[in-house]
Amino acid sequence: MSYTNARDIFPNEVLKIIQNYVDGEFIYIPKKEENKIAWGKLTNSKKEIFKRNTNIYEDYLSGMCTQSLSEKYYLSRKSIQRIISEKRKCHNIECAT
């Protein structure tokens, strides 16, 4: 996220109105809903995490304990347990349909 001076983008009248609410502080102006991009849309991060989590679940099903999975994937045991739980739920839903 980059910094832009409000003087460079707002008309003086608008700047004075904003200064009635925030004076000399940093503020974040969120994107419009129609301009938002979902997380992972521009990178492969979402796919990579899905693949990693699938590998964790498969390792778990093959007999690895959560402590070993934690060490192998450099995640906390709580994170491993959460991933296993989510994958189990997802698997049960797919099997039921």
Q: State pTM to two decimals.
A: 0.60
Residue spans of the domains in the chain: they are: 6-35, 45-96
pLDDT in tens, 2-53: 788 999 999 999 999 999 999 999 998 899 999 888 887 888 899 999 999 9
pLDDT in tens, 59-97: 999 999 999 999 999 999 999 999 999 999 987 766 554
pLDDT at site 97: 43
In DSSP notation, 31-89 reads PPGGG---TTSSSSHHHHHHHHHHHHHHHHHTT--HHHHHHHHT--HHHHHHHHHHHHH
Q: In the structure encoding, which two tokens stand for residue 23, read together? A: 């004076």
